[in-house]
Amino acid sequence: MSKTIYQLVDELPTGGLTVMSLRALDFAVPGEWQNLVGFDNTIRAVTGETDPDLIRQIGERAIYLYNDKSQGYQTALWLYQTVDSASSALGAAALANKVGEKIPLLGFLGNITPKADKAQTIDLAVKLVVELVAFCQINGIPGDSIGDFLGALGDYSGESLMRMAALVCFDGLIPLGPDFIQMVLSKFNNMSPQELEQNQTFKGVNDLIPGGNSSGKLGFINESFSSVSGWMSDFVNSRGLTPNNVAKNLSSFIDVADDKLDYLGAFLDVSTNYYEHTGIQTLARRLIERAVAEI
Amino acid sequence: MIFRRLRRILPAFLLAVLLLVTSCRAQDTSPYAKTQQESTQRGATPAVARKAEQGSSFNKFFPKSADGYQVVAAQEKKGFAEYKLNKGGKNVAMLSINDITSTPTAKDKYQNSTEKIAGYPAAEAPGKGTGILVNNRYQVKVASRDDSFTKNDRVAWLQKFNLSGLAQLK
């Protein structure tokens, strides 16, 4: 049986590689993310409510909303989980016996393979589209979704902004370098629908990407990424983000060599699940916002 | 001979394994376990009533950005629409309209209250909110998300909704 929404939120980890990696991005989005965990705790933090009976009522309404499949919350969770290619085994292996010590990336070179640039550009663009689709599943806003999404993206905060920061840093800057936005745009301009179909990340979420056939989906991904590229570029420039300063902030717990950033990207890809982790936090927050307003 | 015995024993054995497996499954000891069970069982009441008004019908009744406050769309689902109220880039309150056809007990707090705002029954609501009930069906709420946003602010913003327009929504 799949987990209940309160189990998902109650069981969010307070430590480990995903949490450490996200904390390392605090310099990019200062104070935005506090790793809020626990279902009742999230209700208290989101609504400011302290009365236990009222907290329970809000929680019960949130559970009803989540369990009603027509409301889209379960689809959003599935998207966040599926697009994260995390293999927690490697993360656990990396942390084993490493308490208080740095994780030596060199020790893992034999176990990880950096993705080819093309695969990585598809991953980045597909993850962005998943954010768009999950956003619409959680918040509704039908119609001209890309336009509404851009308006809302400007208002992203908390764990949602942290997820976007991690997308830019861990799936863009680190594996692809400072020109990652241009790289994605040019790769997508020369891509065939067959190339897209072969990508593992795309395969996982294919059914939920708008566009009909692969050619239409390629167009949708391309259009979505182009629309958000201005926001992304502004995000990188205004915060002075570079592959090196992201790596430097991760170096408090991972021993990184500057010439091995592609390996660092591959390591983060297989050892963290930041999309799922912050996705559950976003989902819980929006569910609770709705629940408290409706009761 | 052996096969015949096996045939007799096997169903009993499988049943025993089945019972063992089901009894070993972790019990949900959460205080929410009952709600989880009720909301997922066959024939469970859907979270949103079939007859609930579309959330998109509510958009036009929300206040517009003014006086340094920005009204930003947040959620729009069947029976529900919500906007953030931001000031200086900070979220200070949430504005919402919902159709209580899906949550009929929401009415109780208005029946137990003597307060009125803009002529409609009004009451304090969970999560630092103040709500009013329009036409016995549409709940309009403003909830504080920052200490600087007081009850007076909530009452003032409730009056900025197009309440008479909402009252005419059939």
pLDDT digits (tens, 9 = 90+) for A94-110: 666 555 677 777 777 77
Tokens 């502004």 -> residue: A234
Residue A61 lies in a domain: no
Q: Cβ contacts of residue B125 below 8 Å, gap of 6+?
A: A292, A295, B109, B131, B141, B143
What domain range is A174 assigned to?
Answer: 72-275
Residue A294 lies in a domain: no
Q: Residues of A with CB below 8 A from B44's CB?
A: 67
* Cβ separation B143–A141 shorter than 8 A: no
What would the pLDDT profile of A50-67 be if each residue is shown by its tens digit?
Answer: 999 999 999 999 999 999
Is B153 within the bounds of a domain? yes
The answer to whether residue B62 sits within a structural domain is yes
Among B48, B55, B94, the residue with its CB nearest the CB of A68 is B48
Q: Indicate the burial class of A175 (C-beta count within 10 angstroms; 0-12, 13-18, 19 or more).
A: buried
Shortest distance between the Cα of A254 and any Cα of chain B, in A, equals 34
**pLDDT band (50, 70, 90) for residue B21:** low
Inside any domain, residue A44: no
CATH number of the domain to which B63 belongs: 3.40.1000
Higher-confidence residue: A13 or A88? Answer: A13
| Sign of torsion over alpha carbons B5, B7, B8, B9 | positive
Instruction: Look over chain A and give the mean of its residue pLDDT values, rounded to a whole number.
Output: 89
Could you tell me if residue B71 is inside a domain? yes
Residue B75 has pLDDT above 80, yes or no: yes
Q: Are residues B102 and B31 located together in one domain of the fold?
A: no
Tell whether B24 and B94 lie within a shared domain.
no
- Residues B148, B78 within the same domain: yes
Say yes or no to pLDDT of A158 above 70.
yes
Indicate whether B72 and B154 sit together in one domain: yes
Across the interface, whether the CB atoms of A64 and B56 are under 8 A apart is answered no
Q: B124 and B88: one domain?
A: yes
Looking at the 3D structure of chain B, how many domains does it have? 2
pLDDT at residue A142, rounded to an integer? 41
Number of domains forming the structure of chain A: 1
Q: Is residue B48 part of a domain?
A: no
The pLDDT assigned to B107 comes to 96
Q: Is residue A79 part of a domain?
A: yes
Is the pLDDT assigned to residue B23 strictly greater than 60?
A: no
Q: Looking at the domain assignment, is residue A230 inside a domain? A: yes
Domain range enclosing B98: 55-167
Indicate the pLDDT class of residue A143, thresholds 50, 70 and 90. very low
pLDDT computed for residue A252 by the predictor: 86
Rounded CA-CA distance A89/A290 in Å is 36
Q: ipTM higher than 0.90?
A: no
Look at residue B50 and tell me if it is in a domain.
no
pLDDT at B24 over 60: no
User: Does residue B135 sit within a domain?
Assistant: yes
Q: Which residues of B touch A58 (CB under 8 A)?
A: 126-127
- The residue of B39, B69, B110 whose CB has the most chain A CBs within 10 angstroms, and thus the best one to mutate to test that interface, is B39
